[in-house]
A and B are shown apart, each in its own frame.
Chain A
């Protein structure tokens, strides 16, 4: 069909779009930062550069992959995703995101996501991943978005005390609160599943992936208190 209209759309002068404020832009950049593990970082970065020079693939050849040590593989997975992702939106910066606790975490790798080989590594080396991330977070006092996603993937619920103590250092990274809620949701923790927060963030049929709670001290304390109680109720290892 022919669309013969040259000027079919409209604007309302009183609804002009506001550029996100500096604080929002800065917080969005902060949210999207990944943590780069130190284990063989230089070697792994060079291998990744080699892959990226080849436009056709995002995957490290198996021979090179197998030559990496366990820790180097961890670094590779944490800084590079081999497969593709598809998103309905490019996840724009939400106005005043620094004042929100979101239901979902941002994408660490844009249009890429972890491949089956990478997820298999996560499953096979769960305890190693917990140990390496714990060491790395303890050193940097930072939980990059790649670590947060990995903690979700491996269901790293034993890391809850570390996550809370990291959050409490400066109360800045509200995605840690998001991560705590995702862990409670994924582990079907009843007090959370029956809460108003869960309903607003995850259970409403109209809920979109951009659902959020407004940040305030009461919300913050409630999430931390619930996550702590959830953690304390977990079976402890021998």
Chain B
């Protein structure tokens, strides 16, 4: 079984995000970019399936600017067998919307015929949490989101999902679209020899036109601003003082 893993290039989760003063967006020039953390977890799961013999090949796909090559090289260094880059933008500030990403991924599925797609539950830049669900709707495969456990058993997969009330386990028909939550596994680091080897692994470049997909946005970003700042607080010297402040000043107790 071939496993497809969509990986997005996003601002590194440790970087302090700066909103541009003119309201046009977040400054992404010269900031550290990395693989979306959820996608590292998705990829780790796919690689483990290959190591366990459940998967035969792991294909990583990224959609965005040319620089997403780096993200795909990381994926290859972690253990993906090959990679597909769909160059859909030339400005690093252009974000391709989940609906367009899902349409492109559907086209990749049609071409590659994987048996399973494992993606992240959410991209930490747009915080949409939508692509997997949209892809599942478009291809008509079963959907299992927010996975903290994944077992593929022949014609089915059993997936435990992180939901508001706790955990839910469902059984879905294969082929399936799975999106992963943080606690599915701990992704590995790429070792130096593997980083070297990854340079020789195949990385194919495509464009949306190759798949006949229109990626024009449906949402226009009118402006991007910083959130309202909180007024500065005070430090208290003791528990007694804290209790007094909460009772008398804040009035919340």
The reply to whether chain A is a binding partner of chain B is no
